[in-house]
Amino acid sequence: MKRVPGWIPLLLLASLPAWGAGPDAAAKPATSRGPKLAAVTFGVRHRVFHDFRDLHRVKLNEDFPLGDSEYSARMVQYVADFQMDLPARKIYSLSDQPRNPAFKIIVRKNRVPEDTTWAFLKSPPHFGARSYFAFQVLKVEFLDHEPLMPDTSQAQPAASPKPHPSAASKDSTAGH
């Protein structure tokens, strides 16, 4: 049996992409670092109580109350450039720059984890299947980068309801 020099397997191993880190992990230089997260401002809504509105500026791994209820939340993860590999059920960042920032939030009831959800800077808040609370990212602050806020220039105004066709025909015949 012929022996393979010890450096050959190491060379082969070094040429493989970093597993579990996403498709661009091998292409990124190891020395690059994105902006350091300082705080996030969330607007919070409730599924049942439509008048419920809460506003919180929080840091990573900091608990915050949800209204005057027995619920609290904690932002536990920041992903700078959110991407999801659906078949593998893995979440990773395409880069270290905040191009598509996302925040994983755990909701607790009486300190017991009850729900996990994501909040995105570039998406409206959403309620999960079991969620009572939805979180909207209003501002992302960094220690070494300009703050980011949602782009509201693309928001469409609410459409006014169109009159029923029978109402329009009554109006047009009213003067005849």
Amino acid identity, residue 56?
A: H
pLDDT value of residue 94? 96
> For residue range 100-142, what is the model confidence (pLDDT) as tens digits?
999 999 999 999 999 999 999 999 998 888 899 999 999 999 9
Q: Please name the residues in contact with 133: beta carbons below 8 A apart, sequence gap of 6 or more.
A: 44, 45, 46, 47, 66, 71, 73, 107, 115, 117, 127
Please say if the pLDDT value at position 15 is more than 50: no
Whether 142 contacts 36, CB under 8 Å: yes
pLDDT value of residue 167? 44
Read off the pTM.
Answer: 0.69
pLDDT value of residue 154? 60
Whether 109 contacts 71, CB under 8 Å: yes
- Confidence band (pLDDT; 50, 70, 90) for 85? very high
What's the whole-number mean pLDDT along residues 12-19? 32
3-class secondary structure, 30: coil
Please say if the pLDDT value at position 6 is more than 80: no
- Confidence band (pLDDT; 50, 70, 90) for 78? very high
- Confidence band (pLDDT; 50, 70, 90) for 9? very low
Number of other CB atoms surrounding residue 90 within 10 Å: 12
State both tokens at 157. 């105004």
pLDDT value of residue 7? 36
Whole-angstrom Cα distance, residue 52 to residue 67?
Answer: 8
> For residue range 18-72, what is the model confidence (pLDDT) as tens digits?
333 444 444 444 456 899 999 999 999 999 999 999 999 999 999 999 999 999 9
> For residue range 133-165, what is the model confidence (pLDDT) as tens digits?
999 999 999 999 999 999 877 655 444 444 444
pLDDT value of residue 126? 86
